Structure 1
């Protein structure tokens, strides 16, 4: 089975959870043994892991004809995409796009990530998808999140092949209900025209059914998973904090959706009971300065650290150095980070309003708004060694069973159902 997949980010260039999930799904599908995935990305850098998917660089796909020789093309894009594919794609340009901002190869540049002109880049990506969809051989289309739904729809219109869309989040999650009508329109259009809708949690599935008015029969829950720790990460030592200061960590985007203010208010309550705890708010986002000021207003700035955005090994070093991991999200479609924390042996506290709460048992679950319960849970784990040890050991065992291979098997089954094979 051949899959044409549209993604937006991919390791090692991680801007959020979408990259992690996209890589995990690619790996999970590859393990099935009979699936070949071609993954389109707006701006790959050439250092992406291509063991599980053949990557097409959308910023190297010609949409306007240019008569360029092979050596020049190889020199320009050879480390990112096979030059032979460039010439094959050039044969399938379907309109005159010279009026657009194309470069010397007749291709369009992308910033990568989430630039200020994101909507323009989403539109350009969908145009380029038309050339790719006309050129490649595939059985089914899989589009990740609203950024790629227009591309997936264009590919479906071109090929007549069925479209699966993967809902990693909706604008209802990102905005606490203050929905951007443009984004909602893109999401709704994608869902209306999809043959199969995969949602990262039952929480998200219900949002899709109720807020986007989708037929429940085509909407499925596909929970995320977590990669096994690499040897390098597994060998990072856990500091022994027994009898020492405890460290409690929030790690994620510092935005409204993630509930960072509840973390600080709970920290303030804990620090009224003990001063033997430090708090770390790792990440970046539009509420970061607000949170720094809030910690100062509560008089706890001396017990707070704001190390900024972390990636790769830094994330795991931070998680292993922590005694408690907290994810107080207001609306979290899934949330992979608690699984990563539990892998590291770090007890986790998560909001009941998160998708991962549906599959995790060996963690503490609280309502995001209940700062008293959150403070009690933090204090208990920090001061009860037996509770810490239990959650640490049982959490590791539980997460070891939540694999991308199982996710890949379920997605494969959904592909087969959608294709009617």
Structure 2
């Protein structure tokens, strides 16, 4: 089986969990006999790991003087309006927050370079909507020039590309919902994003969601028939030996870590309020907020208002080895997400022998037994859980021991086999 897969980012050029999940899944699929993946991203840099698949950048494909199959696809393009507001480099969540009231305009002509190719930034800047449109145009060409059995498009950024490839080839489309705008916006949905998401789900022969939490949103908020929506949980790559395995803390205190985007979706304000309650009860503790996002400045101000800045550290965005270095010196990892479709970072923490506290409002809570769980808004329960783990070594060791065993069984190969079953269902339909 040959799979034409569309994503937006791929390691090492990532800004969040989407690229990590795409990498893990393609590696998992590589273990299945007779499954070959051609993975397409807007911009290929040349340093991506292609051991598990072939990777192509849309920026490498000539499109000038090509005939495009766009009869129905024009309806999709109608949803993609290009805004003129210039914003700095941000992740997708922040992009829509910054441009939510500014997205307007109309479809522009496609510009090609001297080689007849379209230039892509491959990022999430002010021209994101134009790049999504351009990506779909190139996808149409790629689908005409390659032999494949099924199309797989990851998240809303790639849905128009998946639709364009389906229209050009007539092959079945599977869309993979890693998050929805309901998660990113807290319910204040951007109509342009919503329409792109809904159009992609409706055009798909099958829809994969990363949790039942997300599956319910897809069915209830987007009106997608339940029979074509299947949950396939994410996994985590096996932890590898590194030079940081024996790293030691530079302080004697316990360390509690929040690691993720500092945005409304991730619940950073609840982490700070719980931290304040714990610090009032015990002195031997420090809290770390590792990440960046639109709520960063507000969180710094709130920590100052509470008078806990001497016990609270903001590291900025961490990636790669820095993430595991941070986890290695942590005594507890906390993910108090308001709406988390899945959440791979708790699995990485458990791999690093760190107990985890997660919100009931996260998809990963559906599959983890050896994790502490509270509602994101219940800062008293969160503070009690943090205090308990830090002050009762037997409790901490129980979660570390059994959590490590549990997470080691969550392998991408298992997820990939379930995705292969979805491919078979799409082909049968």
Distance between the aligned counterparts of 2:376 and 2:223, measured in 1?
Answer: 27
- Take 1:141 and 1:370, find their aligned partners in 2: how far apart are those partners? 42
Partner of 1:305: 313
Give the deviation of 1:266 after TM superposition.
0.3
Report the alpha carbon displacement of residue 271 of structure 1 after superposing the two structures with TM.
0.5
Tell me the distance in 2 between the aligned counterparts of 1:322 and 1:240. Answer: 8
Deviation at 1:396, TM superposition (A): 0.6
Q: Who is 2:295 aligned against?
A: 287
Aligned to 1:108: 118
1:345-397 deviation per Cα after TM superposition (whole angstroms, max 9, x unaligned): 00000000000000001010000000000001111111111111111111111
The counterpart of 1:251, out of the listed 246, 259, 267, is: 259
How many pairs does the alignment contain?
Answer: 392
**In structure 2, what is the Cα distance between the partners aligned to 1:350 and 1:22?**
23
State the distance in 2 between where 1:232 and 1:247 align: 21
Candidates 230, 235, 247, aligned match of 1:220: 230
TM-score for both structures, normalised by structure 1: 0.91
Cα offsets for 1:303-328 (capped at 9, x unmatched): 11111111111000101110000000
Q: Given the alignment of the two structures, is residue 236 of structure 1 paired with residue 238 of structure 2, yes or no?
A: no
Out of 242, 263, 277, the position equivalent to 2:285 is 277
Please state how far the C-alpha of 1:94 moved relative to its aligned partner. Answer: 3.7
Asked if 1:319 is matched to 2:327, the reply is: yes
Q: Is it true that 1:150 corresponds to 2:160 in the alignment?
A: yes
Q: Which residue of 2 aligns with 1:365?
A: 373
Task: State the shift of 1:146 in Å.
Answer: 0.2
Q: Once the 2 structures are TM-superposed, how far is the Cα of residue 339 of structure 1 from its aligned partner?
A: 0.3
CA distance in 2, matches of 1:173, 1:159: 32
**In 1: Cα distance, 2:229 partner to 2:109 partner:** 39
Query: Cα distance 1:372–1:281, how it changes in 2: closer, same or farther (>3 A)?
Result: same
TM-score by length of 2: 0.89
For the 8 Å contact 1:250–1:327, the answer to whether it is kept is yes
CA distance in 1, matches of 2:247, 2:422: 40
Change (3 A) 1:7 1:169: same
- Aligned pairs for 1:109-124 (under 5 A) are 109-124=119-134
> Where does residue 161 of structure 1 map in the other structure?
171
Matches within 5 A, 1:18-33: 18-33=18-33
The counterpart of 1:141, out of the listed 136, 147, 151, is 151
Residue in 1 that maps onto 2:142: 132
Q: Which residue of 2 aligns with 1:352?
A: 360
| Secondary structure of the structure 2 residue equivalent to 1:232 | coil
Report the counterpart of residue 38 of structure 2 in structure 1. Answer: 38
Distance (Å, rounded) in 1 between the aligned partners of 2:56 and 2:373:
41
- In the alignment, the residues of structure 1 paired with residue 221 and residue 68 of structure 2 have an alpha-carbon distance, to the nearest angstrom, of 36
Residue 328 of structure 1, aligned match among 313, 320, 336:
336
- Select which of 183, 197, 208 maps to 2:193: 183
Q: Closer, same or farther in 2 for the Cα pair 1:126/1:246, shift >3 Å? A: same
Judging changes above 3 Å, is the alpha-carbon distance between structure 1 residues 324 and 238 closer, same or farther for their aligned structure 2 residues?
farther
* Shift in Å, 1:110: 1.3
Unaligned runs of 5+ in 2: 70-107
Alignment partner of 2:262: what SS?
coil
Q: Secondary structure at the match of 1:44?
A: coil
Match of residue 80 from structure 1: none
* Contact map agreement 2:110 2:134 (CA 8 A) in 1: no
1:207 Cα deviation (Å)?
0.3
- Hey, which bits of structure 1, 4+ residues long, moved more than 4 A? none
Q: Which runs of 5+ in 1 are unaligned?
A: 66-91
Please list the CA deviations of residues 22-54 of structure 1 after superposition, one character each: whole Å capped at 9, or x if unmatched: 001101111112100000001121000001111
Q: CA deviation at 1:113?
A: 2.1
